[in-house]
Structure 1
Amino acid sequence: MNIPAEFDKIRPYTPEELPKIYEELIADPSFRAVVESVMPGIPFEALAEKMRLCRTNLEFQKAFFYGLLWDLVKKCANGLTFDCSALTDKTMNYTFISNHRDIILDSAFLCILLIDQKMNTVEIAIGDNLLIYPWIKKLVRINKSFIVQRGLSMRQKLEASALMSRYMHFAITHKHENLWIAQRQGRAKDSNDRTQDSVLKMMAMAGEGDAIARLKELNLVPLSISYEYDPCDFLKAKELQQKRDDANFRKSPEDDLINMQTGLYGYKGRIHFQTSACLNKELDEIKERNLSKTEVFTAISELIDKHIHQNYHLYAGNYVACDLLMGDTRFAEEYTEEEKVKFEKYLEGQIAKIDLPNKDIPFLRNKILTMYANPLINYLEAAKS
């Protein structure tokens, strides 16, 4: 396929490029050290040969990531389930737009779930702030990721957004790929998942026709991701206190690495992914309302939020957290005393992991409870509409 050169810096590698990139990774001592720690007991040379046999990105994903991720589910979770019954045509190419809980696993789990559905995996939007080592950047581009450029000036950001939008439309219409993008930049630290209009505006920069027509070309599908436990909840709470205490606080690349490692290997309990139907019909209905351009994006953001919130899979901890946060027993029928004790013990354990010199335990407790209560609060609100 003839891919325009303008996408070369952000797109996934093509199959033709893979042999050269494999050799660069195989020769990288940092990559080798990580692989040997993740796959102990397997000779690196055997893994290198296995890489060389993968002729496409999808073959690489199936050969390496598929098995690794299902093993991770066995070790760090109590099951991973997927409901995509709302997708009536699984041969179409979709842009999955989801809430964002885990830096790596949200899109990675979606890929293995799609493989089990005999569907194509997704090309993944990933921020370049996470690509802190050369081998990571190469590996994610083998793994069908396209790069979201961060830390740019306003003019550069506009140019980068337009380029990314053109690439997403090209990937859907010419490459016939599925895509995944988070509904907002970064994870919602309080799990109050809201779609940023700016994400939709970026996606509507390319394509033909008005904003609705451009977004319809991408076949948007809201995706709800529900983890029973978020291994990074204590790190998110810690960051919230750090930002409260220091207005200039910024996470370091090392902090991002710690979040990635904790998210990967921490206990997640049960995990559920659920899609809504493709939004194209509902986008037509929004068009009929003759809204202003600004109102159109707000209406679409609210529509995506409604679908994501309605499709949350709620766990006992969500109900317990809401009661503890509100100081009442409104949802007592939704959990047992044993489940309440278990969640309170979990909460204490997560707070104990937070290492801060001026540790504000009531603040941190409130923030973690809020993370688990917000999905329930949003679910109930969406159920009314």
Structure 2
Amino acid sequence: MDTTEFDEIRPYNDEELPQIFEELIADPAFQKAACSVMPNVPFEILAQKIRTCKTKQDFQKTFCYGILWKLSENYTDGLSLDHTALPDKKKAYVYITNHRDIILDSGFLSILLVDQGMDTVEIAIGDNLLIYPWIKKFVRVNKSFIVQRTLTMRQMLESSARMSRYIHYTILEKNQSVWIAQREGRAKDSNDRTQDSVLKMLAMGGEGDMVDRLMEINIAPMAISYEYDPCDFLKAQEFQLKRDVEGYKKTIQDDLKSMETGLFGFKGRVHFQAAPCINDALEEMDRDLPKTELFARLSSLMDKRIHANYRLYPGNYVAHDVLSGTNEFASHYTQEEKLHFENYIEQQLGKIEIPNKDIPFLREKLLMMYANPLTNYLAAI
């Protein structure tokens, strides 16, 4: 099979690493970033360590694994993964998850998989986040492949088809699991919905009809539940700016701030819950359905499996009760937990710095972010 068509988007091959490592080590922006993440280690020592890595796996185990567990120790109340719905640990899956954090959704998933005796995932990452040349190199060393977003309609179609072929190749030939978000960008209000376009893209590659193509890549929905979303106040702020400022668009600085806030903000408990692979449902799908109908059904199946597998925290119940003005879920939290969560919301509101700050609107948006997972969970079960 000729795999050169993937050269532009795929992670680096192991034999390409020495050259890329030298380019990274020589890049002042990479040096600065590395020193800020590992402030106690002189860069020369880091550089020496990087040069000893022979494979992407070595690199991940030497650096990323430790850094991600350190982030978890400093900024969460614990990370957990329940993978029992997918008992075959040797099988490669396309994990499709709801999307909360730009970097940590896939990062935390990888270290949790490693601790359960599995391999890290290859990560689909949008090129809009590859702001600097060193970031593009770094993510490709770290087993990411690139989703090209800034294209014309026609290029978009070709690019999606190539990415789909790449994912099929990765699952079938490399037996390597893949992580992809259920939608482009994060759900700003935590109302997680799978975009049909993601499933359509996955069905472009492979053999047989639509259903066969999707079955061969073992799609596994997975629910990610963060107790607190450190970017919640930035998302609320964006809602107001979009409402008040015509043609409002986020800048590169905004994206960088989101990445940083997501990494170094407090997340409380973080849980990953695997749902069963959707092949059972695909098996029973009517293959003669019109395409749009088929994808609509599959998206709602994905949503249902993700929603039903959320882990809910006291804040989700408090937010729901505060918004509805009832005590319907009072048995799910103590007075102390309620107070704690309400204080947290006020604290986050205090971080928003925009002109004409509309407090009631912003508070409602923040509460919605925490209430929506519960609303969707109740609908799914």
Alignment TM-score > 0.5, same fold:
yes
Secondary structure, counterpart of 1:17 in structure 2: helix
Measured after TM superposition, the shift of residue 151 of structure 1 is 2.0
Name the structure 1 match of 2:296. Answer: 298
Q: Contact conserved, 1:204 with 1:214, CA < 8 A, in 2? A: yes
Matched, 1:285 2:280: no
Secondary structure, counterpart of 1:16 in structure 2: helix
Deviations 1:276-329 (A, max 9, x none): 1111111111236x4221111111111111110011000000000001111111
Change (3 A) 1:45 1:239: same
User: What letter is aligned with 1:356?
Assistant: I
Deviations 1:185-229 (A, max 9, x none): 000000000000010001101111111111111100001000000
Q: 1:376 aligns with which of 352, 368, 374?
A: 374
Name the structure 1 match of 2:178. Answer: 179
Matched, 1:159 2:154: no
- Supply the distance in 1 between the matched residues of 2:130 and 2:258 (Cα, whole angstroms): 13
- Residues 228-247 of structure 1 aligned to structure 2 (within 5 Å): 228-247=227-246
- Supply the distance in 1 between the matched residues of 2:43 and 2:83 (Cα, whole angstroms): 37
User: What letter is aligned with 2:356?
Assistant: N
Secondary structure, counterpart of 1:264 in structure 2: helix
Name the structure 2 match of 1:18. Answer: 17
Name the structure 1 match of 2:311. Answer: 313
Matched, 1:60 2:51: no
Gaps of 5+ in 2: none
Matched, 1:324 2:336: no
What is the RMSD of the two structures over their aligned residues, measured on CA atoms?
1.0
- Supply the distance in 1 between the matched residues of 2:222 and 2:54 (Cα, whole angstroms): 30
Change (3 A) 1:51 1:287: farther
Deviations 1:306-364 (A, max 9, x none): 11001100000000000111111111111110000000000000011001011111111
Measured after TM superposition, the shift of residue 3 of structure 1 is 5.9
Name the structure 2 match of 1:106. Answer: 105
Measured after TM superposition, the shift of residue 246 of structure 1 is 2.2
- Supply the distance in 2 between the matched residues of 1:53 and 1:41 (Cα, whole angstroms): 20
Q: Contact conserved, 1:286 with 1:299, CA < 8 A, in 2? A: no
Most deviating of 274-283 and 257-266: 274-283
- Supply the distance in 1 between the matched residues of 2:2 and 2:348 (Cα, whole angstroms): 47
Secondary structure, counterpart of 2:14 in structure 1: coil
Deviations 1:127-155 (A, max 9, x none): 00000011100000000000011121111
Measured after TM superposition, the shift of residue 382 of structure 1 is 0.4
Name the structure 1 match of 2:149. Answer: 150
Measured after TM superposition, the shift of residue 121 of structure 1 is 0.8
- Supply the distance in 1 between the matched residues of 2:216 and 2:50 (Cα, whole angstroms): 35
Secondary structure, counterpart of 1:96 in structure 2: strand
Name the structure 2 match of 1:130. Answer: 129
Change (3 A) 1:3 1:132: farther
Change (3 A) 1:3 1:258: farther
Aligned pairs, number: 381
User: What letter is aligned with 2:216?
Assistant: E
- Supply the distance in 2 between the matched residues of 1:147 and 1:37 (Cα, whole angstroms): 25
Q: Contact conserved, 1:84 with 1:275, CA < 8 A, in 2? A: yes
User: What letter is aligned with 1:200?
Assistant: L
User: What letter is aligned with 1:338?
Assistant: E
Name the structure 1 match of 2:271. Answer: 272
Name the structure 1 match of 2:345. Answer: 347
Deviations 1:156-196 (A, max 9, x none): 11111111111111111112210000000000000000000
Most deviating of 247-256 and 12-21: 247-256
Change (3 A) 1:103 1:3: farther
Name the structure 2 match of 1:248. Answer: 247
Change (3 A) 1:236 1:3: farther
Q: TM-score, normalised by structure 2?
A: 0.98
